[in-house]
């Protein structure tokens, strides 16, 4: 929320929502508003509207709406402070320098900035080496054999670390103090000699960027037979392996469009998939997906296709990743690529040998994780009771994470059929496991706007926009409680409170405190074409609410009478009924 007088409030006042949204959506002017295809769901007919007058957006298809900050937070999957910064940068608004809390914090910030600068220098050095040296020519020949041409090398910033043990060291020593060099992870120090030398030597380098696109580490592959085959940067103040996903900085837009991610193991796999025209790919850079990486990915999508290597380590990593992703409520599918000849195929090899079209076809047909796991279980020895028990125990931890009882039942039948198990026994085991995991079925409710009658919609619009008399409307409604019992009661209550408060009314801030269905109604009303309101119309609408309130009270009294209460209570109800009937007749 942008507090009055804050930097965020200043940005909101100066920002042009049409300009910001236009960076993500192709907008077309339609009357006083702008419209386009919604970036938050797939559609062919535009239902996404931006109001430059109200400085808000709303999609009549999926119900998402809000102000310029809400839009950036949703489309970039970023927290509020980052959204404020993004809007400010897009609108050319100067961002005040953050206040540093202590000398220690200032020192840490300076160190991080220095390390980022060193990695930029290293990237420029490696890129120069691969195109400008004899060793780099050999590296490019190796990459060409792997299907990576010069255009791809430049696109992904692939470089080369020469065999000379201090080539990068000599470059960095000219600009940076010696004590900071080992802290960068680019330079190592000998344990016995204390001598500094390049960490990466005779290796092809792949820059690893954070989700903001800043290079924080390198992944490197040996050009010859040196061991280890792959060598990455160590943990540093700017790099933690468990907090970074390779290629995420380039994949963000594609992840938003497709609403699913392809998860592969290494950078060569990610590059191969991206070159095949599938940009929504990220790599965990190893066989161990970490919880922070999952939370990072969840900012962009909650749907994943895992396509790890088919070897034993890759299969184990797939099973671990499935478990972790399910714990974070991801929808998970698994693609196990078929072999190419007599070779087990990772994404890189498969795409080179079989082509992008075949890979895309398999990707579309990737089965749900339970099908993949059933396939794994079927390879176990199912000829004995112990073998069947092991297969069930293998599957149970995953199946019990299915939140829907109907789906669990379907999977129980499929598992029993595929593994030739006794279905009633299997169901009993699954039921027990499910109860231990969850006590209720979670069903995503369908978002359907509540009905709002024309009178209610008019009053909502007046409470939001009729500056001349909306406070008077709010006071009348509060005094008479004429909005109580309406399906739109929560919307009225929020608008009444806002109008009777001291702060200027902000529709987007009111919407933020409403439930989804109420929020949809509010935005729909605000975007409706309507004539200018006047006080006479407002009085007429309030009178209509009074009438409906009396009718509801009369219906309640009648139901109480029909319940045949004791004599004194019945007489009181009859008197109240007469009074309500006289009120209604007089209107």
Tokens representing 494 are 């929020």
Q: Of 156, 119, 86, nearest to 238 (Cα)?
A: 119
DSSP 94: P
Contact 263, 287 (CB under 8 A): no
Q: CA 380 to CA 365: how far, in whole Å?
A: 24
Where do the domains of the chain lie?
7-90, 103-239, 243-366, 373-437, 454-586
Q: What is the pLDDT of residue 441?
A: 26
As its CATH architecture, domain 103-239 has: Alpha-Beta Complex (3.90)
Cut 0.85: pTM above it: no
Distance of alpha carbon 523 from alpha carbon 43, whole angstroms: 19
Tokens standing for 89? Answer: 């940068």
Per-residue model confidence (pLDDT) at position 200 = 97
The whole-angstrom separation of Cα 219 and Cα 230 is 7
Fold adopted by 373-437: Pheromone ER-1 (1.20.50)
Cis peptide upstream of residue 228 (ω within 30 degrees of 0): yes
CB 40 within 8 A of CB 110: no
Token pair recorded at residue 31:
């009357």
Cα Rg, the chain, nearest whole Å: 31
* Distance of alpha carbon 315 from alpha carbon 454, whole angstroms: 59
At 403 the pLDDT is 64
The answer to whether the CB of 465 falls within 8 A of the CB of 457 is no
Q: Could you state, in chain order, the average pLDDT of each consecutive group of 10 residues for the chain (587 residues)?
A: 69 88 89 90 90 91 92 88 89 75 79 94 97 96 93 97 94 93 95 92 96 93 88 94 93 86 95 96 85 87 93 90 87 93 92 95 93 86 69 80 70 76 70 53 31 84 90 91 83 91 81 83 88 90 87 76 73 84 75
Topology of domain 7-90, CATH? DNA Primase; Chain A (3.90.580)
Q: What are phi and psi of 208, to 5 degrees?
A: -110, 120
Enumerate the β-bridge partners of residue 203: 161, 222
Sheet holding 303-306, edge to edge: 281-283, 261-264, 303-306, 331-334
Residue 197 tokens read as: 């030398």
| Whole-number Cα distances in Å, 392 to 38, 70, 495, 555, 580 | 44, 46, 55, 58, 67
CB 20 within 8 A of CB 92: no
- Half-sphere exposure (Cβ direction) of 193: Cα atoms closer than 13 Å: 6
Burial 512-548 (b: 16+ CB within 10 A, else e): eebeebbbbbbbbbbbeeeeebeeeebeebbebbbeb
Length of the chain: 587
d(CA 175, CA 383): 68
User: Judging by DSSP bridges, how do beta strands 230-232 and 215-222 pair with one another?
Assistant: antiparallel
CATH architecture of 243-366: 3-Layer(aba) Sandwich (3.40)
**Residue 436: Cβ within 10 Å count:** 9
The Cα 473–Cα 471 span in angstroms is 5
How remote is the C-alpha of 520 from its chain's centroid?
21
């Amino acid at each position: 929320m942008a507090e009055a007088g804050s930097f965020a409030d200043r940005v909101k006042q100066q920002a042009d929502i049409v300009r910001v949204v236009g960076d993500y959506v192709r907008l077309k002017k339609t009357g006083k508003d702008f419209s386009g295809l919604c970036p938050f769901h797939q559609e062919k007919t535009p239902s996404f509207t931006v109001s430059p007058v109200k400085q808000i957006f709303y999609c009549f298809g999926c119900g998402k709406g809000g102000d310029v900050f809400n839009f950036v937070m949703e489309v970039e999957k970023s927290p509020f402070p980052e959204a404020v910064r993004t809007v400010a940068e897009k609108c050319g608004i100067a961002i005040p320098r953050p206040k540093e809390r202590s000398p220690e914090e200032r020192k840490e910030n300076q160190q991080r900035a220095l390390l980022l600068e060193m990695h930029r220098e290293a990237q420029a050095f490696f890129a120069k080496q691969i195109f400008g040296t004899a060793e780099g020519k050999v590296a490019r020949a190796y990459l060409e054999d792997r299907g990576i041409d010069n255009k791809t090398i430049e696109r992904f910033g692939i470089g080369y670390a020469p065999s000379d043990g201090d080539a990068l060291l000599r470059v960095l020593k000219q600009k940076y103090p010696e004590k900071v060099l080992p802290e960068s992870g680019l330079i190592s120090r000998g344990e016995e000699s204390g001598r500094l030398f390049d960490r990466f030597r005779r290796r092809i380098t792949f820059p690893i960027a954070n989700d903001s696109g800043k290079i924080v580490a390198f992944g490197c592959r040996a050009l010859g037979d040196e061991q280890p085959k792959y060598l990455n940067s160590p943990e540093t103040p700017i790099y933690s392996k468990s907090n970074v996903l390779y290629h995420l900085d380039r994949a963000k837009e594609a992840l938003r469009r497709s609403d699913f991610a392809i998860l592969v193991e290494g950078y060569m796999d990610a590059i191969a998939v991206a070159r095949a025209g599938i940009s929504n790919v990220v790599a965990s850079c190893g066989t161990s997906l970490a919880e922070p990486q999952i939370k990072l990915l969840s900012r962009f999508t909650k749907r994943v296709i895992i396509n790890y290597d088919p070897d034993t380590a890759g299969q184990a990593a797939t099973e671990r990743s499935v478990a972790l992703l399910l714990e974070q409520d991801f929808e998970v599918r698994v693609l196990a690529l078929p072999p190419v000849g007599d070779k087990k195929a990772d994404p890189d090899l498969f795409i080179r040998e079989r082509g992008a079209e075949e890979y895309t076809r398999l990707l579309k047909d990737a089965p749900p994780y339970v099908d993949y796991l059933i396939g794994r279980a079927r390879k176990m020895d199912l000829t004995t009771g112990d073998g069947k028990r092991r297969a069930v125990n293998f599957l149970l931890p995953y199946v019990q994470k299915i939140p829907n009882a109907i789906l669990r039942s379907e999977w129980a039948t499929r598992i029993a059929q595929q593994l030739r198990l006794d279905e009633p026994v299997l169901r009993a085991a699954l039921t027990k496991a499910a109860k231990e995991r969850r006590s209720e079925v979670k069903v995503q409710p369908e978002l359907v706007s509540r009905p709002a009658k024309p009178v209610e919609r008019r009053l909502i619009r007046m409470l939001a926009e009729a500056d001349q008399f909306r406070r008077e409307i709010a006071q009348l409604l509060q005094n008479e409680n004429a909005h109580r019992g309406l399906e739109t009661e929560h919307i009225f209550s929020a608008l009444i409170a806002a109008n009777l408060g001291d702060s200027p009314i902000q529709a987007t801030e009111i919407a933020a405190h409403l439930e989804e269905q109420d929020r949809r109604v509010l935005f729909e009303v605000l975007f409706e074409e309507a004539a200018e309101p006047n006080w006479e119309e407002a009085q007429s609408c309030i009178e209509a609410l009074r009438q409906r309130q009396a009718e509801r009270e009369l219906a309640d009294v009648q139901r109480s009478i029909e319940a045949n209460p004791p004599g004194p209570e019945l007489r009181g109800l009859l008197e109240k009924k007469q009074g309500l009937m006289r009120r209604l007749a007089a209107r």
